[in-house]
Structure 1
Amino acid sequence: MKRYLLIMVFIIFFLSCKKNKEAVKEVPNSPIVATHPKETPPFVWNAANIYFLLTDRFYNGDSLNDITLNRNKKTAPLRGFMGGDLKGITKKIEEGYFTDLGVNAIWLTPIVEQIHGNVDEG
């Protein structure tokens, strides 16, 4: 009796495993479009293009906050006080100045008053 029962279970199992043709649908050949957002790769310092920036020599974004501290001596461009400030840096970032240069990291000097004159000590 157990033998017949076991044979019946196997027969039912194998018959129930047949492929159902109605359930299989043909999908037209169409390109698959990804719907997930593109992930940005992680930042790698070894491949960074770093822009070294002297804040007060860079770009004057607001001339109303300039304090010259008796720096009246004329100097060549970028050799003396230029009035650069954080507003100027922010403005250049928003304009895409650094992106156009291929820069992806900015190294700022400490935001303090730079020396008044030129020096040859490096």
Structure 2
Amino acid sequence: MANEDEVAAVQQSYGLVTLGWIHTHPVQSIFPSSADLHTHAGYQALLREAIAVVCAPHEGPDGFGVFRLTDSPGMGTILACRAEGASHPHPPLPLYTDVDQDGGHCEASDDLPFACIDLQ
């Protein structure tokens, strides 16, 4: 993985900004795990519109979801959570939402230009 300075330099040279993060669930379904919720809270605390993309390759080409924490109760609940360990339960509240579904603030499109810069 590239160091943060290298990532920042590449972003600056292309005029890019971090809008969220992407990761895989190789054997799990498409949902943000408790560890994912905590990771994403840091992104969303810096940018309200930040997204988390979860890819589940075993589910085929449509095996991905785009999520964000709900403003309330999601962000407050996760930021206040002090539970130990990567996987722990949270209250049964609407902590996150699919942002690429009806009414969300993201839209998937196959018609946009795409480039991948591998910093490994």
Instruction: Report the TM-score range of the alignment, normalised by the length of the smaller protein.
Output: under 0.3
Q: By percentage of residues, which structure has more helix?
A: 1
Q: By percentage of residues, which structure has more strand?
A: 2
- Larger-Rg structure: 1
TM-score, normalising length from structure 2? 0.21
Q: Which has the higher contact order (CA 8 A, sep 6+)?
A: 1
